Structure 1
Amino acid sequence: MDFVLLGTGAGVPAKARNVTSIALQLLEERGTVWLFDCGEATQHQILKTAVKPRKIEKIFITHLHGDHIFGLPGLLSSRSFQGGVDKLTVYGPKGLDAYIKTSLLVSGTHLKYPLEIVEIEEGIVFEDGQFTVTAMPLDHGIYSIGYRIREKDRPGSLLVDRLHQAGVKPGPLFKALKDGQTVQLEDGRVLNGKDYLGTPQRGRIITILGDTRVCDNALVLADSADYLVHEATFSAEETEMASSYYHSTNAQAATTASKAGAKHLILTHISSRYSAEDSERLKKQSEAIFKNTIMAEDLMTIKIPLYAEKEGS
C-alpha cells in the first residue's frame, strides 16, 4: 500500500503543483488502484508515474469544485484506450452522476468498461473482506466529504516451527491451517488452524479529507489514523482568510492530527500563492504542533508499511 501524490495544489495549477489528486496503490492487497479526486490534467500526471489507469478500480470524489473533478472525463475516456475493461466505480456527492454522464454524452464518449456512479452522503460507502470506507461531511463552501479507509485485520503468520514439532510436513495442510481451517492428520489427530497462527496484524487506517474548515467530523474520521491527508491551503498566519474561504491552515491541520491521535500528517492542497521556498516554512510551522508532518509534493510516493505482528493485538 502506498500513496502517489499526483496533484498537491489548490484552486489552479501552478508550476510546481498540479491540482488535487491522490492515488492509493493497493497492488499487493488487491492488484488495483483507488483514486481520490481527479483535478484537471490528472492523467498527464499519471504518465509521469508507475500508476496504470486500467488498474484504477474506484475513484472517490470529495466535492464538486473544478480543481477536484475537471480531470474526470478525460481520465475515464483514456482508460478505455489503455486497456481498461474491468468495472470502475466512482463515488461522490450528489450531482456527480449528472456531471459525468453529461460530459461523456456531449463529447460522444463511449466507454469499453462498465461504469458505476454512486452518489453518497454519510456512512459506510464500501465494504468487503479487506476494507471498509466511511464517508462524513466536512465544513466547506459546498458539500464536501472526508473518507476513512480502514483495512481489516490480517491473519497472523503460520507458526511453522510449531507445526514441525507436531510432525506436520509442508504441503496442502499448511495452506489449510494458514486459512484457519481444522484438518485431520493421517494418525487421526485434529488440528485447528487458529492454534497455529501468530498474532493478527492490525489493519491500517487512512484518512483523506476534502476541502474543509476545522470541524468535529474531521476528528472522527482521523481518529488514530496511520496517515491523515489534510488540506493546508493557507499558512498559520492567515487563519481569518482560511475561515472566510472555508479552508484550513497548516497549523489547523496539525492541531487536528494531534487531537485525533494520528501517526502521520500529510499537508496538501497548498495555495499557489506559496512558492517552493515557502514549503519548508509551512512544514516547520506544522511540525511545531505535530512532529510527524510530511509536506506533499507532486509525484511524491509514500509507503504505508504493515504493522509488525507483535503490534497487532
Structure 2
Amino acid sequence: MQVTFLGTSSGVPTRSRNVSGVALRLPQRSELWLFDCGEGTQHQFLRSELRVSQLRRIFVTHMHGDHVFGLPGLLASLGLAGTCKGIDLYGPDRLRDYIEGVLHTSSTRIGYPVRHHRVHRAAEGGTVLLDDADLSVRCAPLTHRVPAYAYRVDQKPRAGRFDVERARALGIPPGPIYADLKQGRTVTLEDGRIIRGASLCGPSRPGASVVYCTDTVFCEAAVRLAEGADLLIHESTFSHAEADLAYQRQHSTSTMAAQTALEAGVRQLALTHLSPRYVPGNPIGPDDLLAEARAIFANTLLARDFLSITVVPEEPEAATVPTP
C-alpha cells in the first residue's frame, strides 16, 4: 500500500499546503482510495503521479468544509471524463444529502453510480465496514464538534514466500502455474503429479495496516482503532503550548497525536492537518511540532503535500533452529 498526502493544512489552504486529502494506492488491484476531499483536491491529483481514473472509494471523516468542499467538483469531473465505473462513498449521515443537494442545484449529472454508505452504525458497533478477499476497513467515532470518524485499512495476510528453487528441483516448469502455486493452490501437472502450493510456500506474512484519524481531540476510541498499525496518520492542528485552544476546538496537539501513537503501539506516526499559523518564520513552526511529538513517540514524521509513503508490514522474525 502507498499513501500520498494531497493536503496537509487545517481549515484553509496555504501557499505550500492544501486542505485535507489523503490517497491510498493499492497496486495489487490497480485501485485508488481517497480519504477526505478538501477544496482543490482534484488539482492536487493533477500535480501528482496518481491516476484519478483508478479512484474507486472515497471515505469522509466529517462534514466540515475543509474535508468535503472538493468532493462535488471531483465527482463532476469524473462524470465528464466518462470513464468512471462507479464510486463507493463512505461517511457521516449528512454526506449523501450534501452531495445530492450540490449536484441537483448545480444541474450536474454524472453518468456513473455513486453508492452511499453511512458509517455510524459500524463505528458505534465496532463492526467491519468493508471486507473483501484482500482488505478490510473498520472505523471508530472521534471526539469533535460534529460527528467524525477515523478509518483503518487492513491488508489481509499474504501467502508465504514461494520457494522457486524447490519448485525447479521438482521439475515444475516455470510459467503461469507458478502464480497458482504462489497462492497456495493445488495444481495437477501434465505428468499427473498433484502439487500442493502450500507445501512450496513459507508461513503466511502479515498484511500492512493504515489508520487515518482526523479531526479529534485525544480519545480512547482512536487508540483502540490504531492498535498495532503500521502507519497512523493523525491530525496535529496545534502545538502543545496551545492545548487549551485544542480542547476548546476539539482538535489535537502534536503531543496528543504522539500519545495516541504510543498507547496504540503503532510503528510509525505521520502528523498532518497543521494550523496555518505554524509556518517557517513564525515563533512556532512545523519543525517545533515535530520535535514535540518525537519527544513522546520517536518514529514520527511531518507530512507535507505530495509526500508518498510505502507502507510495508513488519515481517515476523524467522524462527531459529537450535544447534544439536
TM bin (shorter chain): over 0.9
Q: Deviations over 1:50-105 (max 9, x none)?
A: 12222110000000011110111001001122343211111001101100001101
- State yes or no: 1:213 paired with 2:212: no
In 2, Cα distance between equivalents of 1:188 and 1:90 = 49
Structure 1 pair 2–173 and aligned structure 2 pair: CA distance change class (3 A): closer
- The one-letter amino acid paired with 1:68 is H
1:168 offset after TM fit, Å? 2.4
Q: Deviations over 1:114-166 (max 9, x none)?
A: 11111111232111111100011011111000001100011123212112222
Task: Tell me which of 242, 245, 266 is aligned to 1:241.
Answer: 245
Contact 1:6 1:45 in 2 (8 A): yes
* Identity between Structure 1 and Structure 2 (%): 40
In 1, Cα distance between equivalents of 2:15 and 2:175 = 56
- The one-letter amino acid paired with 2:279 is S
- State yes or no: 1:18 paired with 2:22: no
In 2, Cα distance between equivalents of 1:260 and 1:23 = 23
Task: Tell me which of 294, 306, 312 is aligned to 1:299.
Answer: 306
Give matches, 1:133-172, under 5 Å: 133-172=137-176
In 2, Cα distance between equivalents of 1:239 and 1:93 = 27
Q: Which moved more, 1:121-130 or 1:96-105?
A: 121-130
Q: How many residues align?
A: 311
1:307 offset after TM fit, Å? 4.7
1:214 offset after TM fit, Å? 0.8
User: What residue in structure 2 maps to residue 100 of structure 1?
Assistant: 99
- The one-letter amino acid paired with 1:25 is R
Structure 1 pair 288–182 and aligned structure 2 pair: CA distance change class (3 A): same
Residue 129 of structure 2 aligns to a residue in which SS? strand
Unaligned runs of at least 5 residues, structure 1: none
- State yes or no: 1:224 paired with 2:228: yes
- State yes or no: 1:197 paired with 2:201: yes
Contact 1:11 1:19 in 2 (8 A): yes
In 2, Cα distance between equivalents of 1:170 and 1:3 = 34
Q: Deviations over 1:209-237 (max 9, x none)?
A: 12011111111111011100001110011
- State yes or no: 1:44 paired with 2:43: yes
Residue 213 of structure 1 aligns to a residue in which SS? coil
Structure 1 pair 187–107 and aligned structure 2 pair: CA distance change class (3 A): closer
User: What residue in structure 2 maps to residue 272 of structure 1?
Assistant: 276
TM-score using structure 1 length: 0.94
Structure 1 pair 249–127 and aligned structure 2 pair: CA distance change class (3 A): same
User: What residue in structure 1 maps to residue 59 of structure 2?
Assistant: 60
In 2, Cα distance between equivalents of 1:311 and 1:102 = 55
User: What residue in structure 2 maps to residue 109 of structure 1?
Assistant: 108
Q: Which moved more, 1:84-93 or 1:223-232?
A: 84-93
Contact 2:209 2:313 in 1 (8 A): no
Structure 1 pair 53–197 and aligned structure 2 pair: CA distance change class (3 A): same
In 1, Cα distance between equivalents of 2:304 and 2:167 = 48
Structure 1 pair 197–40 and aligned structure 2 pair: CA distance change class (3 A): same
Residue 129 of structure 1 aligns to a residue in which SS? coil
Residue 113 of structure 1 aligns to a residue in which SS? coil
Contact 1:198 1:309 in 2 (8 A): no
Cα RMSD for the two superposed structures: 1.8
Contact 2:38 2:67 in 1 (8 A): yes
In 2, Cα distance between equivalents of 1:237 and 1:148 = 29
Unaligned runs of at least 5 residues, structure 2: 320-324
In 1, Cα distance between equivalents of 2:288 and 2:241 = 12
Structure 1 pair 311–297 and aligned structure 2 pair: CA distance change class (3 A): farther
1:276 offset after TM fit, Å? 3.2
Residue 229 of structure 2 aligns to a residue in which SS? coil
User: What residue in structure 2 maps to residue 7 of structure 1?
Assistant: 7
In 2, Cα distance between equivalents of 1:156 and 1:296 = 32
Contact 2:4 2:22 in 1 (8 A): yes
Contact 1:182 1:190 in 2 (8 A): yes
User: What residue in structure 2 maps to residue 72 of structure 1?
Assistant: 71
TM-score using structure 2 length: 0.91
